[in-house]
Amino acid sequence: MEKVKYSTNMNKYKINFSKDFFIKQLIHLIIGSVLYVGLFLILYFYAFQSVGLIRICDCFFTSGFALSGIAGLIVIGHSGIFDVVSFGFANMFSYLGPTKEKKYSDVYTYKQIKETRRNANRFIFIPYLLIGIISLVVSIIIFFCI
């Protein structure tokens, strides 16, 4: 019986705290903040009919929950669940274009290409989750102080 050799490539899990990492995180923090403020204002002025702090609490909770959901979808997307669907759409649109050729030969090569991109951007969800959790905590504090 042969021994099975397992790959112990730990470089895949190493965090590279370079200047580019912090710039990407800052860009996504700004994007998340703009999304949050926009959603908060839309909810405050148009969605909720309650009065006073209850209205603000509702806006904080809904906006925070939405941004936490966006962070969850980013995590799910980075796990590779949607790869087959995106592979199909990428090939369909490239086939409908002027070249009439498939962009990718098979799903395996597509997944390998996506894997390298995923490893470079694995912590992109952190700013969205951070804003969402802070907003949820503020909502809970306001709710219990009313």
pLDDT tens figures, 87-109? 888 888 887 877 777 777 888 88
Q: What band does 132 get if pLDDT is binned at 50, 70 and 90?
A: very high
What is the distance between the alpha carbons of residues 70 and 13, in angstroms, rounded to a whole number?
Answer: 23
pLDDT for residue 52: 84
What's 61's DSSP letter? Answer: H
pTM listed for this prediction: 0.75
Q: Does residue 72 carry a pLDDT above 90? A: yes
The whole-angstrom distance between residue 113's C-alpha and the CA centroid of its chain comes to 19
